[in-house]
Amino acid sequence: MIGKAHPSTANDASGTLLGKPQRSLLDKSSGVMYKKSVFSRDELSIVRAEILALNQLQDECSSSIAQKRRGTMVSTSSSIFPVLQSGSLHRLVEASVGAPVELSLHVPVEIRVYEQQGAGMSWHVDDVIYDPPQIEVVWTLENNSDCQTLWKDQHDTVKSVETEPNSAILIAAGKAPHCVTSLKYGKRIILKLVYIQKGAQYRVDRHKNQFENSKSAKNKRKHRIKSKKR
């Protein structure tokens, strides 16, 4: 059974009830939340300009569960980082988790581009690399493709969404199985990042970077990210 996902609101605060911890909004949503209109106009302008200025995309490493996807890591000196560290997306994640969070220092922020026919991502559950588990976030810059993001809730019902520009999917690591269907047409440009609860412990050697930004990488290609004209 496949059901359409509905945008989640994250303006309630998680707390305690009769001395017992209350489940977070993300937990109540089976570990997956979808939210539209994430960044403000000013934030969106900064993030969009930085992404479109990048011109060095690579094919993803062969060990990845993704197929025919290109991307690159975002430098920590990028003006995107202040937006991610204290802006609207950061506040959304905190409200969804019900605890203070911060951007992971171990997992790079990545640009990922689906534009080759067959580009997609197989069913999987995100590895837990922090204790408590991290929150994986996919933010969409633009999407005129036929790709759908699918996931299974606690009842094993498959839900789907075609991610809109300036939308975000929040996924709690180790919980919901999810995938991205193979692209037949169009392009999808996303930003992939990880938030962790403050004080979370990193589980060493559990994470592998998907795009190695080294000059010796054989699969590096000069490829500018092009935005569709509006």
Q: What CATH number did the domain enclosing 195 receive?
A: 2.60.120.620
User: pLDDT at residue 60 above 90?
Assistant: no
User: pLDDT at residue 95 above 60?
Assistant: yes
Least confident of 52-61, 74-83, 174-183: 52-61
Looking at per-residue confidence, does 24 or 62 come out higher?
A: 24
- Number of domains the chain contains: 1
Residue 2 in domain: no
Going by pLDDT thresholds of 50, 70 and 90, the confidence category of residue 56 is confident
With contact defined as beta carbons under 8 Å apart, do 156 and 2 qualify?
no
Q: Which pLDDT value is given to residue 9?
A: 46
Residue 137 in domain: yes
Separation of alpha carbons 99 and 166, rounded Å: 24
Closest by CA to 205, choosing from 106, 76, 104, is 106
Separation of alpha carbons 70 and 81, rounded Å: 21
User: pLDDT at residue 77 above 80?
Assistant: yes
Residue 8 in domain: no
Residues spanned by the domain of 185 = 28-199
Separation of alpha carbons 136 and 157, rounded Å: 21
Q: Which pLDDT value is given to residue 21?
A: 66
Q: Which pLDDT value is given to residue 217?
A: 43
Residue 70 in domain: yes
User: pLDDT at residue 2 above 70?
Assistant: no
Looking at per-residue confidence, does 161 or 66 come out higher?
A: 161
With contact defined as beta carbons under 8 Å apart, do 114 and 188 qualify?
yes
User: pLDDT at residue 220 above 60?
Assistant: no
Q: Which pLDDT value is given to residue 125?
A: 97
CB atoms within 10 A of CB 204: 8
Q: Which pLDDT value is given to residue 224?
A: 60
Collapse the DSSP code of 167 into the 3-class scheme (helix H, G, I; strand E, B; otherwise coil) and give the result. strand
User: pLDDT at residue 127 above 80?
Assistant: yes
Residue 63 in domain: yes
